[in-house]
Structure 1
Amino acid sequence: MSSSMNKYMFILGIVLLFHAAYSAAQHRSYLRLTEQEFTSLPADIVLQTIFSLLLAVFGVTMIAGEFKEIRSNIDLQKKTWKNLNNRPSFYTFNHRGHIFNPIAFSRSSSGKGALEAN
């Protein structure tokens, strides 16, 4: 199925779920007006609730896409030992090292260091 069809299924499921909630509220108010005791909801409201919930869950799981494996060793089996120690999130490009050695980190247009240009 296409992604737009899954979105429509999800929206339809949510709308039907709200309709089932409204029907349940209407049934409760009807029982209060007629002074009857509440025992359970009618079967059509219960079936509509279950169907709309299943439709909404199916729609949202199809929208979510591919699921990843829960076990982490599946992803780690594909990596080599060199790649396991590689952590790009810890790379630092802007640091305070240029304060201690400004010649190495900042070059002027003439090729001289920053201290020699002053």
Structure 2
Amino acid sequence: MGSRRPVHPGDSDVRQRHHRHRRRRLGRLCRLQLGVEGTHFSPGLPDATREAYQAEQDTVPIGVDTPAAPYLAGSATYSTKWAQLDSQINDAISGIVTGRQPLSSWDGAVKQFGAQGGDQIAKELAAQHASR
């Protein structure tokens, strides 16, 4: 695997370029993995898990809450149905992206999302927004 030391001014240009490329590649990998709960295993990149975890630890303290939080807290439907709706729509996205489902299935997924609570959430949030 080679040395894991950081880039130093005395390193050759080739070595410095290699380290910059590796950091960019791992950075992209960490950014991809930060949004996927519980997924931090990357075959062939043994340090990726540790680096992704550290990136999360560094990022969480500087994160900000969503400005929509006051609105979302006031939606009874959001509170009870969002987890299921979010899972369903993410499953549809994953199915399309991975080729398990055709792109034409997206319209049906959106209709199902709305029918199972998404439309009601939108109505509740619009009413809250109009009253402010």
Q: Normalized against structure 2, the TM-score is what?
A: 0.27
Q: Normalized against structure 1, the TM-score is what?
A: 0.29
Q: Whose relative contact order is higher, 1 or 2, with alpha carbons under 8 Å and at least 6 apart?
A: 1
Which structure features the higher share of helix residues? 2
- Larger Rg computed on CA atoms: 1
